[in-house]
Structure 1
């Protein structure tokens, strides 16, 4: 009886754990590998759709598709690797990432490789050719989020002055390459960090007036081809066979696709090579011509789902650094999509921004997926942070 009583007491002392369901086990597995299954699924679907469109846009070149697939595979590996790093580690590395990328931008200024009239690339002999300005799209918000995350929010005037200095150095170097589109996107990523930090409306109004008053100065310092892009945006028909050719052909391609499109590989503007840069900046026009309004809406809905999921993940950040960085990453991703679709459809000037994870490109894809890896890290490591 004594043995039986001891056994009964020991069983009563043990907490009874409910059986773990299959859904809970799967959720626990994804948390252990620090990945978000829904965001990962949406990204993979977008990449697959992009490869299908790229095959047509590249003139049915399997070599281009295979090269892009390899780059996307590398981007997925980079995303998974960064997702394993804790936000504390990312915050510690932010100054190193910013400083290293800034040094690479200086190296581009000194010994960069020239392509299509611009000096934007660095070459590692026998390894790769890459664009350091793409890396600054991620290093900039990391640096600002790390700086503001250690300070009282909303930011005070001295903190805003430091942020302006952190922003100005790389933006000036990128604009000198010249690459106005990328410099504006880097500045946008920085602005999102500051806005999410709780910038007061008085400061927002002040900086808006300051930026508006600086537009004439910006216009005077723009290159001739950049001014021509703005003038072409206002009136493409002024030079239909020159500066206006790109936008006229892209809007013609999108409009000719109608509701259901002409069919995969059946586009005339793209397949007959009327459409310039059809596998990079203007790939949306190929999508619109061959898959029509339905195809474009499907891809845009996919982008909106990615943005919505990213905002939901960023909402779970437990500290200022994570909240500022995650919010900036996903909002900047939305701006990439908006600017590319806007310029191809004629509602924004052409600034040379690729369609994320669809246009052909290596450095941009790796940078974007690295950002999503950081976003997943901030979400999946949130229980390790002090409450």
Structure 2
């Protein structure tokens, strides 16, 4: 009798424990393993980083497991409240937010400081997916206009903090939802022309340091010891890795402290110097597999809402990787975007764990619908 009871208990608990998508889980685990190997080298002389990152990874997996157990129907129910709460927190940041390093991005609640813009990376695509799901049978240009407005409100609040990196991620995730909802190529072309025509206005509205970042990207040698230092040292590290790299823990740029933020935004420079072109190709292959698996889950999603949401989450992974690698390689401005599952950090890993959990929930509930 006890054996039968144990088996019965396992059968009841199994659907809640076995929620991870195996292909996605393998890819994420390989990326996190690569991150830990790189972080051992990048954090030499910085005590506590490895222990903190292991804790962050455990918290990310816990978040992933919790979200994977949440049904898409529940996600639809919380979409509007999550969006409203996120916008309210962003407004609170603008009014009474904490200023750090010249930016008002944090909100002090109790004994902790939170960064509400991180919530927007998930809350905005969640809201847009719910919005277009409600209008699936009658999508016209007013629906897309309302969707754009829902996207631009939090983006404006984030950009004025200022935090262009996070604003860019939110824009890409939200635009992906609008595009997958059926936005025509003619409309996309018109938006591209309007964006190009508005460049002079956008330039005049930028902060001085933002204009300096763009000018430094064009020619970092104009200020090699100041604004151009990050880009120059990062590109030196990437190029000096050669074909096979200098070897683990043998990177001179990182260990001589020429690479700034080498455990977070510029960890790709440390990895490139030590593992070279071959290592970079392996890392890019992992990201391609991650994005490919996400797109496969989106394509096989059971309904319109889950398809839009899974596509947007996959675009978050793509944007993170593309912007960070482009920033470190000197082809994009430095905007402070971490490399997904590679960079040190708690908030970013929690957000990525949440996003991965959404994909796993979509895949899991697709199987439940089929069976």
Given the two structures, how large is their TM-score scaled by the length of structure 2? 0.92
Alignment of 1:156-195 (within 5 A): 156-195=140-179
Deviation string, structure 1 residues 17-62 (Cα, Å, up to 9, x no partner): xxxxxxxxxxxx6797332012112112211211221222222545
Q: Give the Cα–Cα distance (whole angstroms) in 1 for the partners of residues 252 and 190 of structure 2.
A: 49
Q: Aligned residue for 1:103?
A: 88
Matched with 1:82 is: 67
Provide the C-alpha distance between the structure 1 equivalents of 2:318 and 2:128, rounded to a whole number of angstroms.
19
User: Does residue 20 of structure 2 align to residue 35 of structure 1?
Assistant: yes
Give the equivalent residue in structure 2 for 1:265. 249
**Contact 1:153 1:197 survives alignment (8 Å):** no
Residue aligning to 1:50: 35
Q: How does 1:107-186 map to 2 (within 5 A)?
A: 107-126=92-111, 128-152=112-136, 155-186=139-170
SS at match of 1:114: strand
Shift of 1:103: 1.4
Q: Does 1:352 align with 2:352?
A: no
- 3-state SS, counterpart of residue 48 of structure 2: helix
CA gap 1:208/1:173 in 2 versus in 1, 3 angstroms: same
Cα distance in 2 between the residues matched to 1:266 and 1:123: 41
- For the pair 1:226 / 2:235, whether they are aligned, the reply is no
Counterpart of 1:253 in structure 2 is 237
Corresponding residue of 1:4: none
Q: Gaps spanning 5+ residues in structure 2: where?
A: 1-13
1:71 shift after superposition: 1.2
**Structure 1 residue 385: Cα displacement:** 4.8
The aligned counterpart of 2:280 is 296
* 1:237 aligned onto 2:254: no
Residue 191 of structure 2 corresponds to 207
Q: What is the alpha-carbon distance in structure 2 between the residues aligned to residue 304 and residue 383 of structure 1?
A: 24
Structure 2 residue 325 is matched with structure 1 residue 341: yes
2:158–2:166 CA contact under 8 A, matched in 1 = yes
| Partner SS, residue 357 of structure 1 | coil
Gaps of at least 5 residues in structure 1 are: 1-28
Distance 2:138 2:358 in 1: 24
Q: Could you tell me which of 42, 46, 50 is aligned with 1:65?
A: 50
CA distance in 2, matches of 1:309, 1:272: 38
Q: In the alignment, which of 274, 298, 308 is matched to residue 324 of structure 1?
A: 308
Q: Deviations over 1:139-177 (max 9, x none)?
A: 110000000011136831211121122112111110111
Listed one character per residue, the Cα deviations across residues 69-94 of structure 1 (whole Å, up to 9, x for unaligned) are: 11121111111111111111101110
Q: Cα RMSD over matched residues?
A: 2.0
Tell which structure's C-alpha radius of gyration is larger.
Answer: 1
Asked whether the 8 Å contact 1:114–1:121 carries over to 2, the reply is yes
Query: How many Å separate the matches in 1 of 2:139 and 2:368?
Result: 26
Match for residue 9 of structure 2? none
Task: Give yes or no for contact 2:247–2:275 (8 Å, CA) kept in 1.
Answer: yes
